[in-house]
């Protein structure tokens, strides 16, 4: 009897240790946390307790200014998961990083605009003929988006495109007359909109383009599929709540981003007013992923060549209604 009680107690201790291990507070990696709209579902999911309900206690976020740095942060984290730029994930895979793409993230360009000063005569993409347009840097997403949009409108050889660096540098160049239009993203646009006008929306010119995806280090996914499933589930609930309660979602995002709620609410409303899905509940948009892949090849950000999504995508942790098959 004593031996039975001892074994039972030992089992309880093991179970308790396992429970505490899965409930330990962790940080997740999210690209452009606190200055981009990719993090909105994560903010809602944390505040509403959706991650904890699903089995992972997310309490904070690790971020960077995007690109390969975000991928490296994710792969080195306690939970080597992150919502990262698809462009960075593709580049990492081509460099031999052993990661798996596990869910769709932001699957449109609804947060991305090309803007001019308020008093500018520019009103549409056609008006850019003979003008100077600022994009961030060669081989960047803004390079790719502007190239595709202007090419589709047969304007590429009629527009002078100039590199302007970060958003703050771009805005300075616009104010000082160095360029006639620049790229702009939410929530910065909603903060500065009194001084700006939208010339064209990227989503109108390129309806399908996936910006971010969820990735995880391959060995961790194999060892801890339940943790990744919990993250996907918590994020999905965050997306659903955000879409059903956009004003409250704006308040939540404002608290996490330390921004004026009027700005975050306006940014969310601006995004959801655009046709199509912005925050995917998890489902992949393979057409939008192909558009990103082809765009990266177009601006020579990656070498052209065969790239099979089946080799790097795993849909097994998605809810059944979010799987493509």
Pair 108, 283: CB distance under 8 Å: no
pLDDT of 239: 98
Report whether pLDDT(189) > 80: yes
pLDDT of 10: 40
Per the prediction, the chain carries an average pLDDT of: 92
- Residues 138-146, mean pLDDT to the nearest whole number: 95
pLDDT band of residue 18 (cuts 50, 70, 90) is: very low
Long-range pairs of 223-229 with CB within 8 A, sequence gap ≥ 24 = 224/79, 225/316, 225/317, 226/55, 227/22, 227/55, 227/56, 227/79, 227/81, 228/81, 228/102, 228/317, 229/54, 229/317
Q: What is the DSSP string of 147-205?
A: HHHHHHTT-GGGSEEEE--SHHHHHHHHHTTS-SEEEEETTHHHHHGGGEEEEEEHHHH
- Residues 217-227, mean pLDDT to the nearest whole number: 98
Report whether pLDDT(2) > 90: no
Helix (H, G, I), strand (E, B) or coil at 83: strand
pLDDT band of residue 66 (cuts 50, 70, 90) is: low
pLDDT of 70: 84
pLDDT of 67: 67
Stretch among 23-27, 69-73, 136-140 having the lowest mean pLDDT: 23-27
- Report the chain's terminal Cα–Cα distance, integer Å: 53
Report whether pLDDT(135) > 90: yes
Where helices occur in the chain by DSSP H, the ranges are 2-23, 40-48, 50-54, 68-75, 86-94, 141-152, 167-175, 188-192, 202-205, 218-223, 225-244, 246-257, 261-272, 286-298
Stretch among 68-72, 156-160, 251-255 having the lowest mean pLDDT: 68-72
Query: Residue 105: how many CB atoms within 10 A of its CB?
Result: 28
Query: Residue 9: how many CB atoms within 10 A of its CB?
Result: 10
pLDDT band of residue 186 (cuts 50, 70, 90) is: very high
Structure tokens given for 248? 């409250």
pLDDT of 305: 80
Q: What is the DSSP letter of 304?
A: -
In this prediction the pTM is 0.91
More confident residue, 7 or 138: 138
Domain 2-108+209-322 of CATH type 3.40.190.10: yes
Burial (CB < 10 A; 0-12, 13-18, 19+), residue 11, is exposed
In angstroms, the CA 69 to CA 138 distance is 17
For helices 246-257 and 261-272, what crossing angle results, to 10°?
130
pLDDT band of residue 69 (cuts 50, 70, 90) is: confident
More confident residue, 65 or 170: 170
pLDDT band of residue 143 (cuts 50, 70, 90) is: very high
Domains 2-108+209-322 and 112-205 equal at CATH topology level: yes
Q: What is the DSSP letter of 30?
A: E
- The side-by-side arrangement of strands in the sheet containing 181-185 is 160-163, 132-135, 181-185, 112-117, 196-201
Per-domain boundaries in the chain: 2-108+209-322, 112-205
Report whether pLDDT(78) > 70: yes
**Nearest CA among 226, 213, 216 for reference residue 280:** 213
pLDDT of 75: 94
Report whether pLDDT(5) > 90: no
266-283 pLDDT, tens digit each: 999 999 999 999 999 999
- Max mean pLDDT among 71-75, 275-279, 300-304 falls in 275-279
How many whole angstroms from its chain centre is CA 242? 15
**Nearest CA among 243, 238, 235 for reference residue 273:** 243
In angstroms, the CA 106 to CA 263 distance is 20
Report whether pLDDT(163) > 70: yes
Could you give the C-alpha distances from 190 to 51, 111, 115, 243, 307, in angstroms and in order?
A: 29, 10, 12, 19, 37
What percent of the chain has a predicted confidence (pLDDT) above 70?
92
pLDDT of 8: 39
Stretch among 15-19, 33-37, 53-57, 100-104 having the lowest mean pLDDT: 15-19
For the domain spanning 112-205, the CATH number is 3.40.190.10
């Amino acid at each position: 009897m004593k031996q039975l009680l001892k074994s039972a107690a030992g089992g309880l201790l093991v179970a308790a240790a396992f429970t505490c291990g899965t409930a330990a507070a962790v940080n997740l990696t999210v690209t452009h946390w606190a200055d981009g709209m990719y993090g909105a579902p994560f903010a809602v999911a944390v505040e509403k307790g959706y991650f904890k309900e699903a089995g992972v206690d997310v309490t904070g976020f690790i971020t960077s200014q995007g690109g390969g740095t975000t991928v490296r942060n994710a792969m080195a984290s306690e939970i080597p998961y992150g919502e990262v730029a698809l462009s960075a994930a593709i580049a990492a895979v081509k460099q031999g990083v052993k990661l798996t793409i596990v869910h769709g993230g932001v699957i449109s360009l609804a947060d991305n605009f090309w803007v001019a000063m308020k008093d500018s005569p520019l009103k549409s993409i056609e008006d850019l003929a003979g003008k100077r347009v600022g994009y961030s840097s060669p081989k960047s997403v803004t390079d790719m988006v502007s190239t595709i949009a202007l090419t589709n409108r047969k304007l590429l050889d009629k527009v002078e495109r100039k590199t302007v660096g970060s958003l703050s540098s771009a805005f300075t160049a616009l104010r000082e007359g160095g360029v006639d239009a620049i790229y702009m993203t939410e929530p910065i646009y909603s903060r500065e909109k009194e001084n700006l006008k939208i010339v064209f929306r990227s989503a109108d010119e390129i309806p399908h383009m996936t910006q971010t995806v969820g990735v995880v280090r391959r060995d961790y996914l194999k060892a801890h599929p339940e943790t990744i499933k919990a993250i996907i589930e918590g994020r999905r609930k965050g997306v659903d709540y955000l879409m059903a309660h956009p004003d409250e979602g704006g308040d939540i995002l404002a608290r996490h981003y330390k921004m004026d709620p009027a700005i975050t609410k306006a940014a969310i409303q601006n995004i959801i007013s655009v046709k199509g899905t912005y925050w995917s509940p998890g489902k992949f948009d393979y057409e939008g992923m192909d558009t990103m892949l082809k765009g990266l090849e177009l601006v020579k950000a990656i070498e052209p060549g065969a790239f099979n999504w089946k080799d790097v995508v795993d849909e097994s942790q998605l809810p059944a209604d979010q799987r493509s098959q």
